[in-house]
Amino acid sequence: MEYNLSFPTANKNISCQGVIRTCNEDFFVEEMMDVSLADEGEHVWLFVEKRGENTDFIARKIAKHAGVREMDIGLSGLKDRHAVTRQWFSVYLGNNPEPEWAQLNDENLQVLSYQRHSHKLRRGQHYANRFVLRIRDIKGDLALLEQSLEAVSRRGFPNYFGEQRFGRNGANVNKAVAMFKREIKATKSKRGFYLSAARSFLFNRVLAERIENSSWLDRPSAGPLYGELPRDFVDQIFEDRDPEGYVGCSQLERSIFEQYPDITKGLYANRLKMEERPLAAIPQEMTWTLLENVLDVGFLLPTGSFATSLLNEVVNYSVFERTYPSE
């Protein structure tokens, strides 16, 4: 089955085109975290800056340098590879001596600070991400571009999961379905990616329908991250448990879920719990400047929201095509 990963924008008057990620410095992300480090405990928290590397690679590099297992490394969020990112890692050392962290520094990795902590860093522990993006080769109606930026800063944008969630050409959704059908096996980490991609796809389809009927900004404005409701809640409210897991969903949501039984049955079988996600995200501290044909945009987004989903409401962007030497 083909899974359509083209989702409508709320802004029907996008007037400009541009190119992102021409170089790593064009896409800057920094995790924002309220953290109190007492400089004691069995964990060391590192705040690092990486360039052109993915988060898992850096985590393995830190583990090797510290002489610990990869499972002893904690992180709050996965960050883009083709970017400059600042993010937190934790390292469980126990009573082992602390390595020389400065020895990790190279052209692609800098340890900015470190301190002891009593707990491991957990996923999603940071409260926001700060972005500074550069879009080059801007072409089109600049007056409409200004209006689009103003609208996004004021009302927000559709809180779609970005294309990064779905893998190249949406491969993660197809692999999720193949995993559900036992056509492929997946490691624990890959399984998490595939389950997340499948749930994100369903959420995006619901949000897309809400955009088409102009209800995405209605209050309350939240959409489902598909799964089953807690048994005690279902038993209290409903007489019968729905074997497909649709109980508690709106008619619109159910009509969409019924189109993708391979995904809904697979998620339900994996015992994921129903959760909610805001349909709209509102950027904080949003600023922009346009000089000649270069647009610079800065903003804060809550954890889990995608900068590319904001950009989709402003400019028709393409990603700079990188070429790599053959090996």
Per DSSP, the three-state class of 45 is strand
> 106 catalytic, yes or no?
no
* Residue in the structure block whose two tokens are 């309220």: 34
On the question of a cis peptide bond just before residue 97, with omega within 30 degrees of 0, the verdict is no
Catalytic residue among 80, 141, 232, 242: 80
Q: What is the dihedral of CA 57, 62, 67, 73, to 10 degrees?
A: -80
User: CA angle, corner 79, sides to 108 and 320, nearest 5?
Assistant: 75
Q: Are 138 and 283 in contact (CB under 8 A)?
A: no
Q: Are 311 and 160 in contact (CB under 8 A)?
A: no
74 beta partners: 90
Per DSSP, the three-state class of 49 is strand
- Token digits of residue 61: 């590099």
Which amino acids are annotated catalytic? 80
